[in-house]
Structure 1
Amino acid sequence: MAQTKLGATAVNTISMLPAAGTSAPDFTLVGNDLKEVKLKDFAGKNIVMNIFPSIDTGVCAMSVREFNKRAAGLANTVVLCIAKDLPFAFKRFCAAEGISNVITLSDFRHLGFSTAYGVEMVDGAMVGLLARAIVVIDKSGSVKYTELVPTIGQEPDYDGALKAIQ
């Protein structure tokens, strides 16, 4: 179990983020077209996972915008923005914001991602949603960098995440 905060209140996650140097756990998520997406679909690419509670909150939306901006110049890299939001919410947000350089994925159907990556909040006001975290996976499928943001209302370390793939 790991810990973050929602405001001043401590919130526990279901387990720890995968450790740097380990193989990235497999996952099945759902894309905006309602089709399943798996880790193997990104084989041979660097992967930056921007994990958050909901696209309909200010900091979560800001992180998607920021990674969208930064992802435009990344070679052989995909940025996956992951929450339990429905794909319809992601599609609406991306269309309204002109987001085209990231891939939005939902954990609403299988719910295994949140356990495998240790990011499901198990207590607090947002129990069941994903904590704000970053996981970077290299081309060989190895975890290179992780960050569980100390406070849900705080943006992730964009520079730290992107430096891990350079």
Structure 2
Amino acid sequence: MTRLTLHGAPVYTEGSLPPLGRRLPRLELCGRDLLEHPLDALPAVPTVLHVLPSLELPSCQAAHRAVWAAVAAQPGWQMVAISADLPFALARLAAADDARLHLRSCFRHPGWARSLGLDLVSGPLKGLPAQGLFVLDAGHRLRASELVRELSELPQLGLLQRAAEAQILPAGARPHRTAAGRCDATRATVVASTDVASVAA
């Protein structure tokens, strides 16, 4: 169980953040068209998953817009905004009408948040996902993640910049090579600060 806060009051999540370097559990989430959209059907480019309790909340809306602005500044990247909002509301709540911004609802799959360590099990938002940020490479492997410590605040946008600097490459791009000419896979790994969440005693 992980301790977070909501406006300073403690709340708790169940589950653990997935390990870096692996593909996420299979996610099928609902789009604005009411169809299921698996994560692995997205284009093979660097992808940011921004998970929020609800885009109807002003703090979540502010976080959504800030994260999208950071992602939009990275050529070739895309973002998936995931919340518990009904699909009918997603178009109205989107930060932009852009082909690189995908809006998804988890309303049909209440258990999926636990597989990402985001399942809120206490507090007024119990039953909704906590706020989390996940950075995937072009092969949809997890390279960085953050469970946002205070739910009403922005995630660490520096995580995205560090991921970009570490050369999380679009499909078809040339990997970084060391002076000896060897591919350097370690440059694609960015580890979130260990201070992003604390484990409850």
Answer yes or no: same fold by TM over 0.5: yes
Instruction: Verify: 1:145 aligned to 2:123, yes or no.
Output: no
Aligned equivalents of 1:102, 1:112: Cα separation in 2: 24
Equivalent AA in structure 2 for residue 49 of structure 1: L
1:111 pairs with 2:106: no
CA–CA separation in structure 1 for the residues paired with 2:39 and 2:4: 26
Structure 1, unpaired ranges of 5+: none
Give yes or no for the alignment of 1:34 onto 2:40: no
Contact 2:6 2:151 in 1 (8 A): yes
Which 5+ residue runs of structure 2 have no aligned equivalent? Answer: 168-201
Matches for 1:1-150 after TM superposition, within 5 Å: 1-42=1-42, 44-94=44-94, 98-100=96-98, 101-150=100-149
Q: Does the Cα contact within 8 Å between 1:28 and 1:112 map onto a contact in 2?
A: no
Contact 1:50 1:63 in 2 (8 A): no
**Structure 2 letter corresponding to 1:61:** Q
CA distance in structure 1 between the aligned counterparts of 2:118 and 2:4, rounded to whole angstroms:
10
Q: How many residues align?
A: 164
RMSD: 1.8
* Structure 1 residues 38 and 155: CA distance shift in structure 2, 3 A: same
How many Å apart are 1:6 and its aligned residue?
Answer: 1.0
Q: Determine what percentage of the aligned residue pairs are the same residue.
A: 28
The residue number in structure 1 matching 2:172 is none
TM-score where L is the length of structure 2: 0.75
Q: Which has the higher contact order (CA 8 A, sep 6+)?
A: 1
Mapped contact 1:137–1:143 kept (Cα < 8 A): yes
